[in-house]
Structure 1
Amino acid sequence: MRALNVSKPWGLDELKIVETPDPKPGPGEVLVRMRAVSLNYRDLMMVHGMYGRAPATDGPIIPFSDGCGVIEAVGEGVTRVAPGDRVATMFFQGWLSGPPTLEKALTALGAPIPGAGRELAVFSQEGVSKVPDFLTDQQVATLPCAALTAWRALFEDADLSPGDTVVLQGTGGVSIFGLQFAKAAGMRTLITSSSDAKLERAQALGADHLVNYRQVPEWSQPVRQATSGVGADFIMEVGGQGTIEQSLKAVRIGGHIAIIGVVAQGGSGINPAVLIGNAAKMQGVFVGSRDMFENMCQAIELHRIMPVVDKVFPWTEVREAFEAMRAGEHFGKIVLTF
């Protein structure tokens, strides 16, 4: 079989396709023929040697956590799935339920566990989950990280109700899933972007309020206006230091800011006095458990939520896919197909 490898000195130039022996499942394991993987910002950082809790390594590593495939064979004692089942890979292979722990966090695909960027892969039966039949392989591949991160932030960590106001930053995978989930739950949504064209696409998905942050850098003001001065109940914070100041100004007293990413540059960071003054909660979010994933899939099936796949590349064109991500060309998710 063929697999993607990247190693020190890292970078897109070091991302290669290599030939390796076909793996075989052992006891409690399943062999999956991969059909699609989706890109996350984490994957781009990993390829550049900039991400991971695992001990430092010179590589090689097999990237990608988010995949869809079909079970080809199972090892002794496997009961969760059977040959022919279509499954998604779990981001954390060992986080099945309950709260996060360091031990669970050290079971992420890509690093330290070899990822889904290969034609054939062996996983623990506990690290895969069946998925809604109505979704395509490409759509399923978007679920393990981006969708689950948005789901956990909205429905596991925050205390939200229909009619609450949710702010989504940008139009990447997590924010678009956040928009879709929030609308399905009856919440009012406000989304920001630097592109009017992307804002129009977000409006077509049901966004109630649109803000171009290039034209309105102080985007906390239209959030306040949309909420009659009260502020947002929830903010999906993906920018980090470059956007957190505006999030703190936009959130209501006692509101919730979910810290998802660090993609924005500049900014002045966190002013503790502002956080104290609005009594808001800030919580870091790194994906979720298998139980959360399966609850999310039930909601996706019930509401017939269609993940937004914006760009599709053959997996052999992985560099081009990463360059599209780095350029911020996408709306929703970028997917590689096998």
Structure 2
Amino acid sequence: MGCLSELGSRIYLHIPLVCGFIKTTWIPMREYRLNEFHGFDSLTLTETPTPDPGPSQVLVKVHAVSLQHRDLAVAKGRYPKAVQPGIVPMSDMAGEIVAVGSEVTNFSVGDRICANFAMPGFPLGDLGAAIDGVLAEFKLFDADPQRLVKFPDHLTYREASTLPCAGLTAYAALYGPVPVKSGDVVLIQGTSGVSIFVLQFALAAGATVIVTSSSDDKLKLAEKLGAHHGINYVATPNWDEEVMKITDGNGANIVIDIGGASSLIRSVKACASGGWIQLVGVIEKAQADLNSLPLLAIVKNVCLQGILMGGADRFRQMNERIDSVKMRPYIDPKEFTFEEAADAFRYMDGRSHVGKVVIQVSKD
């Protein structure tokens, strides 16, 4: 005889087999797939049997996922590497382990985890591009400590879902070879997920923070979150000169550059002598004359560093810091359900958000 049990809102059936193992038959779960890459209307909600974990695997109930620009690029067919049709998109999630394989000893049912998607050999991440991602109600993972990272107890699933990319990128930008410290000046471009995380980490370290944006409303929100100065780069095109005024001619010790070629010259000009330019994005595609960059970098004695998130060890270091100050990641107030996933993609693509855009997957 089999027996019925309930897991969350789903019912499953245990069937004893002659060999002594147990097979679990599930009501189908839902997941999104991208069969084409023509935009957000290509997101297709499908049903599939909820899988059983193998001996060295865990089954995770996905509670929340957060969007990043990489997800938009994949859906639009603009990702720099080939993506197979039919892939489950997205990479950033937080969830709960609900079943473990027979050989798993390092994770337990009830553990709250994020998936680290910057695995060895995949500096740009594998989930949602090279392999199926996390825009699903349940997800199988290998019980690999390089893949699964427990998050601080004080965070909600929604908050924790923002950590794998934006949080870890911001942390890597501020805690590299010369970590941010009290009294530093940090210049942040924009108010996206990474930028707001930088703001929160920098404030926790005791730094003075300057934020640039094209929106006065976004600058007001950044200042409400603790930013000391805001510069509207549309009203003040020479924002590097404004930074120098604010800092009495000294410049920023750390500049977070997300624009790429279109902003890099001004980033160097706004940087303090011996400071750091942390290159975390290439948002703008505008052509720019970078002929003066080498001489400017020499004169300012600046260090330019490209930022990749790093692996699970850095993820755990970041979580320790978040836990020590009980930091809570800022999430854009507009909420999206699992059924509204395409709307969440469109909303982020419209760039009216501040902080991270999150999709609530689980209703409980």
Q: Is 1:50 paired with 2:70?
A: no
Q: Give 1:132 deviation, angstroms.
A: 1.3
Does structure 2 retain, via aligned residues, the 8 Å contact 1:245–1:267? Answer: no
Does structure 2 retain, via aligned residues, the 8 Å contact 1:69–1:137? Answer: yes
| CA distance in 2 between partners of 1:14 and 1:333 (Å) | 22
Does structure 2 retain, via aligned residues, the 8 Å contact 1:244–1:269? Answer: no
* SS in structure 1 of the partner of residue 335 of structure 2: strand
What code does the residue aligned with 2:213 have? S
| CA distance in 2 between partners of 1:41 and 1:71 (Å) | 27
Q: Give 1:122 deviation, angstroms.
A: 0.7
Q: Is 1:317 paired with 2:348?
A: no
Give the structure 1 partner of residue 54 of structure 2.
26
Q: Give 1:107 deviation, angstroms.
A: 5.3
Does structure 2 retain, via aligned residues, the 8 Å contact 1:8–1:58? Answer: no
Give the structure 2 partner of residue 105 of structure 1.
123
Q: Give 1:330 deviation, angstroms.
A: 0.7
| CA distance in 2 between partners of 1:86 and 1:52 (Å) | 32
* SS in structure 1 of the partner of residue 59 of structure 2: strand
| CA distance in 2 between partners of 1:60 and 1:272 (Å) | 45
Give the structure 2 partner of residue 175 of structure 1.
195
Cα offsets for 1:76-130 (capped at 9, x unmatched): 32222211111111122x34xxxxxxx2437521121211111110112221111
Q: Give 1:10 deviation, angstroms.
A: 3.3
Give the structure 1 partner of residue 138 of structure 2.
120
| Cα 1:256/1:269, change in 2 over 3 Å | farther
Does structure 2 retain, via aligned residues, the 8 Å contact 1:193–1:213? Answer: yes
What code does the residue aligned with 1:329 have? S
Q: Is 1:14 paired with 2:42?
A: yes
| CA distance in 2 between partners of 1:113 and 1:67 (Å) | 15
Does structure 1 retain, via aligned residues, the 8 Å contact 2:279–2:305? Answer: yes
What code does the residue aligned with 1:119 have? E
* SS in structure 2 of the partner of residue 148 of structure 1: helix
Indicate which of 83, 90, 97 corresponds to 1:64: 90
Indicate which of 297, 308, 314 corresponds to 2:319: 297
Indicate which of 85, 88, 106 corresponds to 1:80: 106
Q: Give 1:251 deviation, angstroms.
A: 1.1
TM-score, normalised via structure 2 length:
0.86
* SS in structure 2 of the partner of residue 84 of structure 1: coil
Give the structure 2 partner of residue 200 of structure 1.
220
Greater CA drift, 173-182 or 232-241: 232-241
Q: Give 1:170 deviation, angstroms.
A: 0.5
* SS in structure 2 of the partner of residue 23 of structure 1: coil
- Which sections of structure 2, spanning at least 5 residues, go unmatched? 1-28
* SS in structure 2 of the partner of residue 156 of structure 1: coil
Give the structure 1 partner of residue 232 of structure 2.
212
Cα offsets for 1:22-75 (capped at 9, x unmatched): 12222322110101000111111111122255xx24412111111011101111
Cα offsets for 1:283-318 (capped at 9, x unmatched): 111222111111111111111111111122012211
What code does the residue aligned with 1:328 have? R
Q: Is 1:335 paired with 2:348?
A: no
Q: Give 1:265 deviation, angstroms.
A: 4.0
TM-score, normalised via structure 1 length:
0.92
Indicate which of 304, 329, 345 corresponds to 1:282: 304
Does structure 1 retain, via aligned residues, the 8 Å contact 2:74–2:83? Answer: no
Does structure 1 retain, via aligned residues, the 8 Å contact 2:35–2:44? Answer: no
Does structure 2 retain, via aligned residues, the 8 Å contact 1:236–1:258? Answer: yes
Q: Is 1:35 paired with 2:55?
A: no
What code does the residue aligned with 1:213 have? Y
Bigger Cα Rg: 2
| Cα 1:158/1:109, change in 2 over 3 Å | farther
Does structure 2 retain, via aligned residues, the 8 Å contact 1:106–1:112? Answer: no
* SS in structure 1 of the partner of residue 221 of structure 2: helix
| CA distance in 1 between partners of 2:191 and 2:86 (Å) | 32
Does structure 2 retain, via aligned residues, the 8 Å contact 1:184–1:303? Answer: yes
Deviating 4+ runs (over 6 angstroms): none
What code does the residue aligned with 2:275 have? G
- Which sections of structure 1, spanning at least 5 residues, go unmatched? 96-102
Which one has a larger percent helix, Structure 1 or Structure 2?
Answer: 1
What code does the residue aligned with 1:214 have? V
| CA distance in 1 between partners of 2:210 and 2:189 (Å) | 9
| Cα 1:57/1:324, change in 2 over 3 Å | closer
Indicate which of 252, 262, 280 corresponds to 1:242: 262
Give the structure 2 partner of residue 98 of structure 1.
none
